[in-house]
Structure 1
């Protein structure tokens, strides 16, 4: 064996994402015939779509293959085989790395973004349902998104026999609905109580999912205040316009000086009347540390109140305090069901001279008729019993004390109060239920509780962020898997970071329960629980229904069930603990002969190579990779979409991709307070490409960081991504400030960084690095190649010199984090798709010996290409053998390609991730490379110090999931990922 001089960490996925540590002595590529031989009868072979070069996963061929480019988001579809190039070529050939990359086929039209019109074009139509005015069943239900993590606001479902209405669509809504079998296809309208990342973070993914359903797709009405237009304009950068043609807003613009005490009625039909009352705060509080609009303060430094700028900052605050901005508007929604008419009395009708027939029907419809035997008019009141008023439900979102001032004084709500001093009883509308989405900081105030008491005898449901069920996971399926993994191997699968008892106690002073509310005895107040219902119809069942609330499944119960199901797991867990405690001995060629009962301890392919020199003297505080999302395309109940958290501990952290729900995953991993600290410590966010499963969680992360650092001197966070991402972020920042600075990936390529280091700026058209890239040897993007035109497009910023200050800032930030460089490189997937290299600085040990720094390569979604091979020496995300054609069509990599590229590059470890959502538990693959490979799960944490022991956990993972190799047929998309370390 050649001596390993350094470590290469490679992450790959179905779209190729890669992580590497410093270079290893390259090995010749292995023969493909040795891969994917199934050794375990209880395992299936899975295919997957490579998305990242550091992680590889598997998925089988989907039932309906999507055409490429039908959606710019993650619901990608394959083009026909006639539109792919070189699909029959082998995935790799023996020889040089560039020969390996150039021998594979790829979909050029998809890579160039020219596949939008391939295949039939969908005509998204708004669903039209047959109304059922009778509505035998109707209720409102709490959808508890964010109840355990507080990363997003809960949603509220208004259910009818033939219609569904959703109030708010925060991050995780899709995943929640999949977990609890709530059919997204039944949704007709989505109402936003505010337009911000907290209430609308899950909307882009939801629209993409609905647009991908069925042959023609589906669309829904999206309602919100006037600032909804800013969100729509931002989403247009990556969502087809057809998916949003039914976005509708109401009310005057936020900067309008007109009165807002007006009732808007978006929905009024035989089923329900939904009215909206705008809450326009008296002022928009601007932090004294914010310096937007001031030319006196440094452009990158936020919150620094320099003495020389104190006067201008105070002047700005005094004027800005009353200046409303987009995102400040909130809405109270009033849902009124029609009254139930009294029962028809045939005896009274006969006494008034009416024969059974059409006239009786007219009376039931509310129309007067002429008597058949008497010269009189018969009115409905003569033959019908007393009518029952229709139930009324309010959904209230009052986010700040400023909104509360408006809420208390608005006249549009007067008819719904029970206070006789304000109106006669005849004018009063009886409200049955008020659902409060307002946070505890507002609901616990005396003013808010006084307002609540004005409704009289009403059921109040407190669903806002406060102390409630935070220890109970909302996503029970993923929590169950996390608990089982933690029992088996806590070192790689830490216990989920739900609130601990000390954290609960520390918040008790600011988060009070309803029992402490100062309300009249007639007011019934309860804390919302996940899936709590309030029945509206039948009228006899009017009231609360707790039957749908999930049972509380404790950790001890999950462990008890696991041991009953797999008795050998006890010995397996003990043996893994012993292995990890003796890891240094094994890593250096030692052996262990421990034998646990009924457990296969070692498999023939588990042998250890020499320890890379970059791991010499490594500590547990150097670097940890936390896989927040390991699924592909869209969230599932088992796996979230793409996100990798590079934890540098005291030196900060970096996010590689940021799919929807990334913040929630951070809070599940580190706890509420721990996640807040992680977000505050972010040094950089890097996004690979514009597909929705890679970036739609970024706004929520940036918004939280802004709020956490609001009163603290700090710098705007650097976001590195493709230029399409800048279009989205620029448009979104018109809605809410994200406190960030954008740097185009093109400005972080190796050639561009060389230009920056040399101080040259010869190309003023923004193509710095492109020409150099084409000069740096033969590749698929070089002159005369199939992809020659791929990079011949204007870059961003227009003048490379504009990026120089940001590059200097990025270099300093990386240096403070102990990193030498962040280098982006182009890959073949879609226009402006990239991979990234993170290099750690060299260090010196106690004897003065220089230790090379580790190197991580994350490939993003890609086909094997020279740029990827040059950056990582081969680690790609992949599909399985049977998915080669689809992998080419979607410009992903197969698992086989991912493993081979990583092995050819001499990668020390390979982590398989970015799994198809059809195969949520564990894939199966040939064991040829299992001595260096492992499988990723959400929340898996890989510390550099544990890398030598990583592959030894795999046999035990197979044991853990031996009875759970079940395909989840409810999921729509199949993707996989591979990673090499």
Structure 2
């Protein structure tokens, strides 16, 4: 666990962990909405409601856990999560957040969403166990009320159609799944412990979920403050009489004087209202804007006013004149918060600052991120576009509004991540927490690190010499993009596992796809190139059932469906299919043109795939061979080897302890991508968790006689720099070993450059390295 994560956990653990231990009778003095992910294609879109004693979450998209760690939001104060629609954009982060709740002592969370929202979580039982967390489904036919918040649900339904089973799933012999199958006999006994066993329940086929839930929320009334000085001036003594006045009761003094509560109490805050709504497309628009639930807040001026409306609504709907007219009916005092694909800005700082530092090492292997270039360009565009009289007198945060919204006299904000709308006290929108990144200042600070300038100069000389040695052998493809290089949980610097393998310009595949894998692709390559990747994607490989290796799968399939209908192979354990199938049949049909290849069907020397199907896979990927091997980590865990048509073999370990199966599979590989979760001093911890140390990973490569070993999947305690033991101490030869970082792009021909970097990385991150070493000394390593 990284130091940032530890600090965050220690902070949240100071809070009461469930409602039973929290006070019920309290005064809530503040409430504000915070945009947690502005909704662009490479970001999540979630909303927090923060109050003194409880927090509430509206939608829980992929990547939210990573942002929570970076911005130190108290997830453990959440007892209620509200879902507008059970699409992956809204619930993709829920499994990871549920595991976080469980790990941090939260005993119960209530889920408020349309039918199907809870079912998605129930379908994760093959790879997630929530023994210590109860997820309860709220009854959305009744108003929700607690001491802070009242929520009226507006349930909107379309007509429903029965959904047929997807062919990719219906042929699976799930009733035969067992930990006693021959295919699992090579797995160690520790990895087959009861808590790891795979459940076999098949989700029943029901009608597709076609409901939309809108939330009309009201913060509870707050009594005005008691004016103590005024009480004293009127002769009220301190004590019970003042308490009664504060509670709204009139009192009689000893001399018979009547003191009225209203004379010594300030004005009550009746409680602001806000709405969270999603209008997914124009087909839903009439159902939303014609719903009578909103009429009392519109036009007449008699009903209560809405402070703000958060629109999780695409631009095409927002630009429809009927929708704008409906927005206008709420009046000029309502602020409309837009959370959609046209928003720009950053949700986190660390990933960009890290990439700017690494870019100094090698500008092509660690390229500046494309979504940052887009944000900078669009922000400049907005500044130029609205430097006219039309924005005279407007607040700075209003100057990027679409002119048509201004003409409709609408108070609209295209949100950036961390925007805050203050409900109590009523301060409206503030942007002081918005993230600004100044590359020049950051690079100047980096170059002040003692000895870095000299080390970089020496490194550039070595890179030039090595590049010259490579000569004409440098080629653009095949290319590896490391999208996530951390283990277990996402960190602000390292995301969970994901590797994009571009075989050539027309073919690519993913090797594992942890949560936010698609966000990382957009961040690294930009939207245009990300669409090209989706069209080139011929296969997605999932190594095993642990959530940090596949919670980005559904998001990838949804994004691919929007861009292309090209067929794709899903190479993964069949035990993952009930989860994917449930989502496809109940929420969004994503398995069209997908074909399952079970990892167990292409075992080395034991392939059961038909020659015809094997040829289809190989032709699609332009490979000459593909095979897997069972590894020692957990049940149904595999490594994979891909052999290019030129004979070069790329082997990926997934998560694994050292084992004969992996060594045999990797034999004579050109590249072995191997997990290296722990430093060498923590070998016993690595064994307990079924992982490898750095030296164990390197030794597997040596024994398998591989050409190059790329280390990845580091414990988040090594976010900036994994600890490679000195050669004198470990006996390791690092001349053909590289260390992976998130958002690193490298062709196979440039792999020899990577061993040159570590010496300079140690200088760049020396302060971090010293802290890690101090902790090792403290442990007694």
TM-score tier, shorter chain, comes to: 0.7 to 0.9
Alignment match of 2:484 (pick from 620, 625, 629): 629
2:82 aligns with one of 173, 187, 191: 191
**Match runs of 1:367-516 below 5 Å:** 384=265, 386-417=267-298, 419-420=299-300, 425=302, 428-469=303-344, 472-498=345-371, 500=373, 514-516=401-403
**From 46, 55, 63, the counterpart of 1:164:** 55
Change (3 A) 1:347 1:560: closer
Aligned to 2:579: 728
**Structure 1 residue 889: deviation in Å?**
1.9
What residue number does 1:265 align with?
Answer: 143
Q: Post-superposition shift, 1:650?
A: 1.9
SS in 1 for 2:610: helix
Partner of 2:590: 738
Larger Rg, first or second structure (1 or 2): 1
- CA deviation string 1:187-231 (max 9, x = no partner): 222211221110111111111112112xx5544222211221321
- Partner Cα distance (2:94, 2:227) in 1: 49
Contact 2:45 2:89 in 1 (8 A): no
Q: 1:561 aligns with which of 440, 445, 461?
A: 445
For residues 327 and 341 of structure 1, the distance between their equivalents in structure 2, rounded to whole angstroms, comes to 42
The DSSP-based 3-state class of the residue aligned with 1:871 is: helix
Q: Equivalent residue for 1:821? A: 625
State the SS of the aligned residue for 1:432.
strand
Structure 2's unaligned 5+ residue stretches are 8-16, 172-205, 386-398, 776-781
Greater percentage in helix: 2
SS in 2 for 1:918: helix
Given the alignment of the two structures, is residue 339 of structure 1 paired with residue 194 of structure 2, yes or no? no
Deviates more, 1:330-339 or 1:275-284: 275-284
Q: 1:867 aligns with which of 643, 654, 661?
A: 661
For the residues of structure 2 that align with 1:453 and 1:967, how far apart are their CA atoms? 56
SS at match of 1:964: helix
Residue number in structure 2 paired with 1:175: 66
**Out of 36, 44, 57, which is 1:143 matched to?**
36
**TM-score (norm. length: structure 2):** 0.81
Are 2:429 and 1:544 equivalent residues in the alignment? yes
**1:704-751 per-position Cα deviation (integer Å, ceiling 9, x unaligned):** 111222xx5x32x21111132122212222322122332221112134
In structure 2, distance between residues paired with 1:861 and 1:448: 50
CA distance 1:217–1:361, change in 2 (3 Å):
closer
1:488, 1:572 within 8 Å by CA — same for their partners in 2? no
Q: Distance in 2 between matches of 1:373 and 1:917?
A: 70
SS of corresponding position for 2:769: coil
Retained in 1: the 8 A contact 2:624–2:643? yes
Shift of 1:495: 2.0
User: Quick one: distance in 2 between partners of 1:63 and 1:392?
Assistant: 36
Task: Give secondary structure in 2 for the equivalent of 1:648.
Answer: strand
2:120–2:579 CA contact under 8 A, matched in 1:
no
Equivalent pair of 1:156/1:168 in contact (CA under 8 Å): yes
Give yes or no for contact 1:643–1:694 (8 Å, CA) kept in 2: yes
C-alpha offsets along residues 70-98 of structure 1, whole Å, 9 cap, x if unaligned? xxxxxxxxxxxxxxxxxxxxxxxxxxxxx
1:907 alignment partner, one of 671, 686, 706: 706
Question: Are residues 1:524 and 2:423 paired?
Answer: no
Query: Secondary structure of 2:113's match?
Result: strand
Deviations 1:919-970 (A, max 9, x none): 211123223312111211001122112123332233232232233326589x
Q: Distance in 1 between matches of 2:374 and 2:754?
A: 32
Aligned partners of 1:557, 1:892: CA distance in 2, in Å?
39
Match of 2:153 in 1: 276
Question: Which residue in the other structure is 1:748 paired with?
Answer: 602
1:129 to 16, 22, 34: 22
Of residues 88, 112, 117 in structure 2, which corresponds to 1:228?
117
Q: Distance in 2 between matches of 1:139 and 1:967?
A: 37
Partner of 1:24: none
Residues 288-337 of structure 1, C-alpha deviations (whole Å, 9 max, x = no match): xxx97899xxx9xxxxxxxxxxxxxxxxxxxxxxxx96454222222212
Asked if structure 1 preserves the Cα contact closer than 8 Å seen for 2:36 and 2:44, the reply is no
Inter-CA distance 441–328: structure 2 relative to 1 (3 Å threshold): farther
Shift of 1:681: 1.5
2:719 is equivalent to residue 920 of structure 1: yes
The residue number in structure 2 matching 1:43 is none
Corresponding residue number in structure 1 for 2:746:
942
Q: Quote the offset at 1:586 in angstroms.
A: 2.8
Q: Distance in 2 between matches of 1:947 and 1:749?
A: 28
1:653 is aligned to 2:653: no
Query: Aligned pair in 2 of structure 1 residues 454, 133: CA closer, same or farther (>3 Å)?
Result: farther
Alignment of 1:832-871 (within 5 A): 832-842=636-646, 853-871=647-665
Q: Secondary structure at the residue paired with 1:517?
A: helix
Query: 2:680 aligned with 1:680, yes or no?
Result: no
Q: Is the 8 A contact 1:683 1:814 kept in 2?
A: no
Structure 1's 531 and 350: CA in aligned 2 closer, same or farther, altered over 3 A? closer
- CA change 1:954–1:750 in 2 (3 A) is same
| Alpha-carbon distance in 2 for matches of 1:582, 1:327 | 60
Matched, 1:890 2:689: yes
Judged with a 3 Å threshold, the aligned counterparts in structure 2 of structure 1 residues 628 and 432 are, in CA distance, closer, same or farther, namely same
Quick one: distance in 1 between partners of 2:721 and 2:237?
A: 71
Partner of 1:19: none
1:492-517 per-position Cα deviation (integer Å, ceiling 9, x unaligned) = 212212165699699999xx953323
Match of 1:978 in 2: none
Indicate the SS of the match to 2:443: helix
Distance 1:896 1:574, change over 3 A: closer
1:555 deviates by 2.3
Quick check: 1:226–1:249 contact (8 Å CA) kept in 2?
no
Confirm or deny: 8 A CA contact 1:440 1:464 kept in the other structure. no
For the 8 Å contact 1:135–1:160, the answer to whether it is kept is yes
The residue that corresponds to 1:44 in the other structure is none
**CA distance 1:336–1:905, shift in 2 (3 Å):** same
Q: 1:810 to 1:219 in 2, by over 3 A?
A: farther
* Cα RMSD, aligned residues only: 3.8
Shift of 1:441: 1.9
- Corresponding position of 1:695: 550
Instruction: Please tell me whether residue 640 in structure 1 is matched to residue 495 in structure 2.
Output: yes
TM-score (norm 1): 0.65
CA gap 1:963/1:382 in 2 versus in 1, 3 angstroms: closer
Distance 2:315 2:764 in 1: 41
Change beyond 3 A, Cα 1:967–1:441:
farther
> 1:546: how far off?
2.3
What SS does structure 1 have at the residue aligned with 2:642?
Answer: strand
Q: Is the 8 A contact 2:452 2:764 kept in 1?
A: no
1:361-420 deviation digits (Å, cap 9, x = unpaired): 4454346778987799x9866775543321112222212112221111111122222x11
* Contact 2:509–2:540 under 8 Å retained in 1: yes
1:459, distance to aligned residue in structure 2 (A): 4.1
Partner of 2:390: none
Counting matched residue pairs gives 698
Output the CA distance in 2 between the equivalents of 1:177 and 1:755.
Answer: 43
Cα gap change, 1:563/1:543 in structure 2, threshold over 3 Å: closer, same or farther? same
Q: Is this contact kept in 2: 1:449–1:519, CA < 8 A?
A: no
